[in-house]
Amino acid sequence: MTAPASLVLDGCSVVTMDGQGSEYASGHVVVTGNVITAVGSGSPPRGGLEGTVTRIDASGCLATPGLINTHHHLYQWGTRGMAPDATLFEWLTQLYPVWARMDAAVVRPLATAALAWLARSGCTTTMDHHYVFPRSGGDLLGATVAAAQHVGIRFHPTRGSMDLGASSGGLPPDDAVEDRDGILVASQDAIDQFHDGSPDSMLRIGLAPCSPFSVTKALLTETADLARRSGVRLHTHLAETAEEDYYCADHFGCTPVEYLDSLGWLGDDVWLAHAVHLDDAAIGRLAATGTGVAHCPSSNGRLGAGVCRTHDLLAAGVCVGLGVDGPASSEENSLIGEVRQATLTARATGGPQAMSVRQALELGTMGGARVLGREQEIGSLEVGKLADIAVWRLDTLPHAGIADPAAALVLGARPPLELLLVNGETIVERDQLTSVDERQVAADARRASAALVGRSSL
Ligand SMILES: [Zn+2]
């Protein structure tokens, strides 16, 4: 048997995000196969590596763990820039009819574009929350999985759902929702077909009813039963806007978190997107139950939804990761951009101590790993962890001479991405994707977007 190949990154700054906060001003990272085998200060010891060895002079660069995205809707790449000044409910009401006409032929190129851009922003693992499944849409989940495999990113898609149409008191139009039995069968099928629970898995399924105003109580409880029988995680949108608070008070006589709590929907196998409108009791319940949060500051800002209490969540011990959210409510859609936005958003209301540079980077790395239940495998640069690594170039004009590499990355302009490794494989090199042709991806996405928007005006 041939020994696995090794890659040696030498001469770079290293921010490991390990439990001790280890950082090296000039250090190394060694990868053998798909695993990190050495991290430390100075150059790695010579010798000891079998198989092919590639050495990279990474001076002028910063190595960090690959970033982890905990909330997304890939298909929304096709409806960016629409309803640009709307609230969430206005924006949804305008876009649901467009989304209700999507099919696998448009979702595949749109998802490829969204994933390719995520990788360019340092992301090595992403979830997807796909919750609109038109009757004649074909295999939409399969289309996103194929796109992720093509780009080469570690993928946690969720089989989302909506079963509460406008005629039954929900927000989405009736033709954008499915019936409950069909959703549960499709959810089981998604798990059976795609879920890989192994430690170095590139593909794990979750289940994700959309939101309190688009799904029934029965769908929430039956989905939770199915997920827990199958050992997969649960996800939903929650407490995103003040309107949702009013909706829950009107329909359920309680807050969004009390509503989920009453349905057995809090726990360490659950993570919630947004969690903006929380009182102290709600934060206490999330902490006590181990429920995670996907913080999406750019989307919250774009839709004017409010400011997540990240400082209070972290102080209470809640696991918080970052999410770019769908590209239609967060057009920049860059994960390193979200690290910066999380820092600035927290500080704008809470002062500079509300979120340190390293805390923000932790949200984008270990925080995301915890939220996805993968803290043993990804999220930090440590021996034995999977080789998901971002190498940022910090010696060009935007960052030349900047004092602290971590501050350069978090507070400065988005640096060129010298290298992005996922599971030991290079998918970005010198700020260009190596797994797909960017021009082709962009051309395909333009065509798919025009086709999708064109259908809705017929
Ligand atoms: Zn969302």
Q: What is the mean pLDDT of each run of 10 residues along the chain (458 residues)?
A: 90 98 98 97 87 95 98 97 94 93 97 98 98 95 98 98 95 93 98 98 98 96 98 98 95 97 98 98 98 97 96 98 95 96 96 96 98 98 98 96 96 97 98 97 97 80
Ligand 1 centroid, distance to 337 Cα (angstroms): 17
Whether the CB-CB separation of 182 and 144 falls below 8 Å is answered with no
**Encoding tokens for residue 245?**
């608070």
How far does residue 325's CA lie from ligand 1's centre (Å)?
5
Contacts 24+ apart (CB under 8 A), 373-377: 373/233, 373/268, 373/269, 374/125, 376/199, 377/199, 377/200
Give 22 Cα–ligand 1 centroid separation in angstroms. Answer: 33
Q: How far is the CA of 348 from the centre of ligand 1 (A)?
A: 23
Query: Ligand 1 center to residue 353 CA distance, Å?
Result: 28
Structure confidence at residue 378 (pLDDT)? 98
Per-residue model confidence (pLDDT) at position 457 = 61
CA of 425 to the centre of ligand 1 (A): 29
Report the alpha-carbon distance of residue 70 to residue 273 in Å, rounded. Answer: 8
Question: Residue 46's pLDDT is what?
Answer: 80
According to DSSP H, which parts of 152-241 are helical?
A: 180-194, 217-230
Contacts of 417 (CB under 8 A, 6+ apart): 120, 121, 122, 390, 391, 392, 393, 428, 431
Q: What spacing in Å lies between the alpha carbon of 336 and ligand 1's midpoint?
A: 18
Q: Compute, in angstroms, the gap from residue 258 CA to the centroid of ligand 1.
A: 20
Quick one: pLDDT at residue 458?
53
Q: Ligand 1 center to residue 130 CA distance, Å?
A: 9
| pLDDT of amino acid 127 | 98
Residues in CB range of 329: below 8 A, 6 or more apart:
76, 88, 91, 299, 302, 303
Structural tokens at position 225: 């039963």
Q: What letter does residue 289 receive in the DSSP assignment? A: H
Cα of 171 from ligand 1 centre, angstroms:
15
The pLDDT score that the predictor gives to residue 50 is 87
Ligand 1 midpoint to CA 421 (Å)? 27
Q: How many beta carbons lie within 10 A of that of residue 193, not counting itself?
A: 12
- Ligand 1 center to 102 CA (angstroms): 17
